[in-house]
Amino acid sequence: MRVGFGYDSHCLAEGRKLVLGGVVIPFEKGLLGHSDADVLLHSIGDAILGALAAGDLGSHFPDSDPRWKDASSMDILGRIRDLMLSKGFEVNNIDTTLILELPKLKDNIPFMVRNIEKLFGLEQGRVSIKAKTNEKMGFTGRGEGIAAYCVVTIAGKATGAK
Ligand code: MG
């Protein structure tokens, strides 16, 4: 068993779609980034890469590379999943926390969880998404951006990961 930790943040800006956990969420602003800037999926990707000791998202998917311009982060995370599988590991569980004042995500979270379960082929009860405000403090509290934290455990498959 290995543990990985991930963190990401992006600015909120007008004229962008807000995509979190692969779900487009109606809101007046979206996250700014080279890809779709799905901060939640980026934190998960970094956590998995961390558990594999395989660098970080920026080294695998540099924002200088036009291939990842407006890329779907579901696609990016799928590539990280494939790297993990090729190294003989599978996800055990994923626990995440989003920090944002608005929008409220309660109704969207089940769809975000389902997207991630599907991507990793996980049964229910292994993916957790929590959302909380920062009590109006800092960049998340002022609504300037959204941050995400993730802890993941991955386990060697019976086929012999080391
Ligand atoms: Mg990011």
* Ligand 1 geometric centre to CA of 63 (Å): 10
* Ligand 1 geometric centre to CA of 149 (Å): 11
* Ligand 1 geometric centre to CA of 74 (Å): 12
Note the pLDDT of residue 63. 86
| Domains detected in the chain | 2-156 (3.30.1330.50)
pLDDT in tens, 124-143: 999 999 999 999 999 999 99
Share of the chain above pLDDT 70, in %: 97
Angle, in degrees to the nearest 10, between helices 109-120 and 73-86:
40
Q: Is the pLDDT of residue 161 over 80?
A: no
* Ligand 1 geometric centre to CA of 87 (Å): 24
* Ligand 1 geometric centre to CA of 159 (Å): 32
From 91, 126, 124, 131, select the one nearest 108 (Cα to Cα).
131
Note the pLDDT of residue 96. 98
Q: Is the pLDDT of residue 67 over 90?
A: no
pLDDT in tens, 6-33: 999 999 999 999 999 999 999 999 999 9
Q: Is the pLDDT of residue 162 over 90?
A: no
To which residue do tokens 């957790």 refer? 128
What's the pTM?
Answer: 0.95
Q: Is the pLDDT of residue 160 over 90?
A: no
Note the pLDDT of residue 61. 92
Q: Residue 111: which region, alpha, beta or left (left: phi > 0; alpha: psi -120 to 50)? A: alpha
* Ligand 1 geometric centre to CA of 37 (Å): 5
What tokens were used for 9?
């943040």
CB environment 76-108: b (16+ within 10 A), e (fewer): bbeebbebbeebebbbbebbbbbbbbebebeeb
**pLDDT band per the 50, 70, 90 thresholds, residue 3:** very high
Note the pLDDT of residue 52. 98
